[in-house]
Amino acid sequence: METPKIYIIGGGALLLIGIILFAMSFDSIEPTEWGLCYNTWTKTVYTDEIYEGGRYVIGFQNSFIAFPRNLRTIEFSESSHAQGSLLKTRTKEGLSLGLELSFQYELIRGKIPKLYEISNVNFEQTFIRIARDTILQEAGNYQAPEYWNNRTEIGKKMQEKLDEALVSAYAHCRNLQLMKIILPDSYEESIVETQVEVQKTTMKGFEQQAEVVRQKSLVLQSECDQNITIIESSANAQAYFLKELAKSISSSNTLYMQSYVYSQAIDLLQLSQEELSEYLFLRSVKDKPDATIVVGIDSAMIQVKG
């Protein structure tokens, strides 16, 4: 009767071991990582598949080696969190030069197995060494004034050179920031003075341009005022002409109508010219109540009082 119990206990133990081994067969990769499967017994890395973020059944004897999928930053500065120290070199003309900078790298997904072969998981130290050598070499190609006048262009050129160098280590340089440029104090003071003089010259140029614009504005204003005066004079002359023309036309029409009416009166009333003249004379006297007619004198005159 002892044997069945032994079988039951053994079967339960095997089941428990199987459950434990199955649970140990799971491993996961973060969404910001890529992974390679690694056999902990044979020390073998399986490079035929690159895993993305997620949870996988890979066997209890396997685990993942993680590689960053997102952009990572490497900094060279005097800060305590920097991966590398301040970069020191000399400018093209021989002045001492210090650079604080940072850059962002991204691993090339398809080259991760190759990256593991050449540097295991210590690839960032390789990138730091490559970046230091590349940037120092490129930094010595520029004269000190260029670091003042062409800082952005120098940063872009450094990024291009660093990207070319990192490709050989299976990564890309996506961005580079020149944070601080350190030149000798005496030279920086002279540069500042030079820049101040340049700013003064620039300001003088702006002031001269502003004065030219102001003078042009005054000339335009004077021309506008003159044009306004000419237009007003022309308008007044035209108005006077039209007014006088209207008066002339009105007088002409009045005389024409009087002449027409008189001729009609002569025809209708059978008057002579002398009789019409006398009629008009008497009518004019009638229209003036203060007029006096002197009768019995050959040359009678109308006397108007007042």
Q: Torsions phi, psi of 109, nearest 5?
A: -55, -50
In this structure, are 120 and 43 located in the same domain? no
Residue with tokens 């997904």: 109
Given a cut of 50, whether residue 306 has pLDDT beyond it is no
Cα(162)–Cα(102) distance, integer angstroms? 12
Query: Which of 31, 52, 68 represents a domain boundary (last residue)?
Result: 68
Given a cut of 90, whether residue 14 has pLDDT beyond it is no
In this structure, are 82 and 147 located in the same domain? yes
Q: Do the Cβ atoms of 100 and 151 come closer than 8 Å?
A: no
130 versus 38: which is more confidently predicted? 130
Please, which pLDDT band fits residue 107 given cuts at 50, 70 and 90?
very high
Given a cut of 80, whether residue 165 has pLDDT beyond it is yes
Cα(83)–Cα(2) distance, integer angstroms? 67
Given a cut of 70, whether residue 193 has pLDDT beyond it is no
Residue 2 within any structural domain of the chain:
no
287 versus 117: which is more confidently predicted? 117
In this structure, are 45 and 106 located in the same domain? no
In this structure, are 41 and 86 located in the same domain? no
Provide the 8-state DSSP code for 247.
H
Q: Do the Cβ atoms of 83 and 76 come closer than 8 Å?
A: yes
pLDDT of residue 1: 47
Given a cut of 80, whether residue 249 has pLDDT beyond it is yes
pLDDT of residue 226: 85
Write out the H or E segment, with its range, that includes residue 198: helix 185-269
Mark out the alpha helices in 120-184 (DSSP H runs). 123-139, 144-149, 151-167
Given a cut of 90, whether residue 186 has pLDDT beyond it is no
Q: What is the mean pLDDT of residues 215-227?
A: 85
Residue 299 within any structural domain of the chain:
yes
Ranges 20-34, 74-88, 98-112: which has the least confidence: 20-34
In this structure, are 53 and 112 located in the same domain? no
pLDDT of residue 27: 78
Is the sign of the CA dihedral 267, 268, 270, 274 positive or negative?
negative
Please, which pLDDT band fits residue 169 given cuts at 50, 70 and 90?
very high
Residue 208 within any structural domain of the chain:
no
Query: Which of 170, 191, 212 represents a domain boundary (last residue)?
Result: 191
Given a cut of 70, whether residue 56 has pLDDT beyond it is yes
Compute the mean pLDDT over every residue in the chain, rounded to the nearest whole number: 82
pTM, full prediction: 0.57
Write out the H or E segment, with its range, that includes residue 178: strand 171-182
Residue 133 within any structural domain of the chain:
yes
173 versus 228: which is more confidently predicted? 173
In this structure, are 42 and 88 located in the same domain? no
Cα(157)–Cα(164) distance, integer angstroms? 11
Tens of pLDDT, residue by residue over 35-54, are: 998 888 887 888 888 998 88
pLDDT of residue 10: 59
CATH number at residue 80: 3.30.479.30
Residues in contact with 279: Cβ distance below 8 Å, sequence separation at least 6, in sequence order: 271
Hey, what are 72's tokens? 């990572």
Beta strands in 78-150 (DSSP E): 87-90, 96-107
Residue 213 within any structural domain of the chain:
no
Given a cut of 70, whether residue 263 has pLDDT beyond it is yes
237 versus 188: which is more confidently predicted? 237
Cα(187)–Cα(59) distance, integer angstroms? 65
In this structure, are 138 and 163 located in the same domain? yes
pLDDT of residue 125: 94
Please tell me the total number of residues recorded for the chain in this structure.
306
Please, which pLDDT band fits residue 305 given cuts at 50, 70 and 90?
very low
Domain that holds residue 59: 21-68
Taking Cα atoms as reference points, which of 282, 302, 279 lies closest to residue 292?
A: 302
Query: Which of 171, 191, 211 represents a domain boundary (last residue)?
Result: 191
In this structure, are 45 and 85 located in the same domain? no
pLDDT of residue 24: 54
Residue 247 within any structural domain of the chain:
no
Residue 225 within any structural domain of the chain:
no
In this structure, are 92 and 53 located in the same domain? no
Residue 118 within any structural domain of the chain:
yes
23 versus 200: which is more confidently predicted? 200
Number of structural domains in the chain = 3
Given a cut of 60, whether residue 246 has pLDDT beyond it is yes
What percent of the chain is modeled with pLDDT above 90?
35
Q: Torsions phi, psi of 32, nearest 5?
A: -95, 20
pLDDT of residue 206: 84
In this structure, are 109 and 34 located in the same domain? no
In this structure, are 80 and 160 located in the same domain? yes
In this structure, are 29 and 124 located in the same domain? no
pLDDT of residue 304: 46
pLDDT of residue 286: 67
